[in-house]
Chain A
Amino acid sequence: MSRRPLLLGLAGAGLFVAALDAYVVVTLLPAMSGDVGITIENFEQATPIVTGFLAGYVVAMPLLGAYSDARGRIPVYVVCLAAFALGSVVTATSGLWSFAQLPWLVAGRFLQGLGGGGLVPLSLALAADLYRDRSRAVALGSVAGLQEAGSVLGPIYGATVTAAAAGLGGWRFVFWLNIPLSLLCGAGLLAAGRRQDAGAPTTSAIDWLSALLLGLGLGALVFALYPDDPEHRAVNALFVPIGAFAVVLLGAYTWRQVRRLEPLIPRVLLRSPAFLGATAANVLIGAALIVTLVDVPIVGRLVFNLEALDSGLLLTQFLIGVPVGAVAGGLIASRIGNRITAIAGMAVSAAAFLQMSSWTANELDLHAGPLRQADLGLAVCGLGFGLVIAPLTAGVLALTCGQSHGLATGLVVLARTMGMLVGLSTLTAFGLYRFHQILGTPVLNDTDLRERVKHLERLVAAAFLQEYREIFIIAAALCAAALLVIALSLRPARTSGGT
């Protein structure tokens, strides 16, 4: 019996587990940040818990595929899985000792991201190695689908596991669970891959200079956007010099990659408006997508006063919409073309964000028939994102030959993750600044401490609601911008074939 499905299944399972952890912290953030000493008035300090993972993910993703050409997919994959598991241990132990506070947690998340990010190109490359011709596209699609599914299911997975494991460490259990899962996937891959052909050895290696440029560039960008004093300014005091430094580093990285990628991706593709447009659209979509994944559970907690699990369940409506939209997007695109379908998807999501920008504190009490309006809005929003994902990916794949499908799909994911990273950093900076502006410095004259705190909670909830309403408007604008980019860059007619 062929070992290919087993190998691909194990690699996909590992990738799925790692992808789950990208946003698993969203519903756990209050508990995690509290356990490392972050209080609500310094909540901006919790941002690196999310961006740390994304930064590691983005740094590793473009680097490790080529390295595995020389070292073999499975050994490098197992090393990445080990890094992910080690990062999980570091994350799970955060707050347990005096030395294991926020930097420890962020380091753990970064390590998780490095390992998890490396799994993306490795899984895609493994799929490409194992399958040929038409079945390769299916294999690549399955891997990409698992990565996407893991990302969007992460928040609800985290909330569910934490609730179920309340007596077993709560949020920490989510990360401890990664250890046996990683072991299972890693050991299975090593065992199943022993007889696998290693393929012709090449001289590929990790491009350390690129890794350094990308890592430093992203780190500088996230730092420049970090709101060190959100009461008085939206971004860091060193925004201009550090931001300029980030632009230089990322520019150098891009220039180097364009040159290095040339043998893999034809120059004509890199100059293709459709490819560049799809990449730009994915960056914008990533930024808008992160608004939903991160901010909706926070709105649920802080504005609607939901428990962690319930705030995760609120997001479920969105998560249901995404795969439904993805399937519908594939079907519709085959009839009316990628461009129109993607435009429609972005229009739907933009409209949903606009509706969400009018949410009120009692939004969950408002119903349209048997359904809550908020649930409907989120489901429609997810539907829009689902509609656009498949046509955009297909649009990029249609521009590349079969050998470049893995790389092209990886670039799509990379662009979206970059959008998420930058979007989250930017919108957190903006959001916290607006929060402080809206809240001001309230004077509480209630007679009892408990009453004063309750009063403050109401004021904070109102300020958060206003802040997130504005962020939803920005998300709608991001969707509109993506729509415009797609309209101007994607081919109007249905695409097919390769170059």
Chain B
Amino acid sequence: MTRILALAMLALVACGNPPPGDAGKILRDGATAMAGVRTVSATLKLTKGVVSIKGFTLVSARTAVRMPTDSDTVYTVKQQDVSFALEIVIAGGHVYEHIPFTPFREVTGAEAKAFPDMAKLFDATTGLPAIIPAGTATKYVASEQLDGKQVDHVSTQYTPEQVRGLLAYLSSSGPVTANLWVRSSDQFIPKAVLAGAFGDGGKDAAVEVDITNFNGTVSITSPAP
């Protein structure tokens, strides 16, 4: 789950508004724009393969992030074919977990650290903005319309080491291909599709990420009593 979101976030920070075709600059400008994000919301849907988290199969996730430390992420997972939502709130340095039908519960220590910190993924120096421009085989695909706005579609590729550099426990057995859509107006990245061998057992998997609410209002409430 973490690795999927991290991979997704890789795709968030890229690209720009130069003459169509200059994919490298689009990628760099996109990374710069995403480095300036203070709040953001994102949804992720697994479109191919199987990715399991602690024995649960990830279906989708949605997160709200408020830099520099807070996030509220709801993972929809499946056990057999029954779906349930697992919510992780990180606020004020505390980590809270919500399992259906139960109250929020603070988790600490190693277990708390095992949950992905979505806010860190947007850190300008160590997170995605730093990694995104390092993609290779970057290509300009097309100028397109997405949700009524002009976007530049760019494809690029990341090595397993680059991915692991972002989050140490991410493991892909091969390169990860990213397709990114970068808004021409503000260089934010509203959509990314990632494909690579990051599924269970190193098998192929693909995710689609939709990012909204750049620097908008997000509601992250600490469940602390």
Contacts and interface: CB of A to CB of B under 8 A. Distances in A.
B102 interface: yes
A39 B101 CA distance: 12
A40 interface: yes
Nearest to B74: A39
A200 interface: no
B101 A460 contact: yes
B54 A450 contact: yes
Given A39-B100, A443-B103, A456-B99, A450 B55 contact: yes
A453 B97 contact: no
Contacts of A449: 54, 86, 97, 99, 111
Given A34-B83, A40-B84, A308-B81, A439 B101 contact: yes
Contact of B102 (A30, A302, A442): A442
Given A41-B100, A459-B101, 19 more contacts: A34-B78, A34-B81, A34-B83, A37-B76, A37-B83, A38-B83, A40-B82, A40-B84, A41-B84, A41-B85, A41-B101, A301-B82, A439-B101, A441-B102, A448-B111, A449-B54, A449-B97, A449-B99, A452-B102
Which are the 3 A-B pairs with shortest beta-carbon distances?
A34-B83, A41-B100, A31-B81
A326 to B, nearest CB: 33
B46 to A, nearest CB: 12
A33 interface: yes
- In this complex, the member of A302, A439, A452, A453 whose beta carbon has the largest number of chain B beta carbons within 10 angstroms is A453
B59 interface: yes
Interface of A: 30-31, 33-34, 37-41, 301-302, 307-308, 439, 441-444, 447-450, 452-453, 456-457, 459-460
Contact of B101 (A33, A308, A442): A442
A448 B114 CA distance: 11
B100 A34 contact: no
Contact of A39 (B83, B97, B103, B111): B83
Task: Name A's interface SS.
Answer: helix
Nearest to B82: A30
B105 interface: yes
B80 interface: yes
Contacts of B97: 449
Interface string B127-154: 0000000000000000000000000000
Contacts of A30: 80-83
Interface string B79-111: 111111110000000000101111101000001
Contacts of A38: 83
A41 B101 CA distance: 7
Nearest to A231: B101
A81 B67 CA distance: 56
Given A41-B85, A450-B54, A307 B99 contact: no
A450 B80 CA distance: 14
A462 B83 CA distance: 19
Contact of B105 (A34, A444, A457): A444
B84 A39 contact: yes
Nearest to A170: B81
A386 B100 CA distance: 40
Contacts of B99: 444, 449, 452-453, 456
Contacts of A34: 59, 78, 81-83
Contacts of B102: 441-444, 452, 456
A456 B102 CA distance: 9
Nearest to A439: B101
Contacts of A447: 111
A439 B85 CA distance: 17
Interface in B44-65: 54-56, 59-60
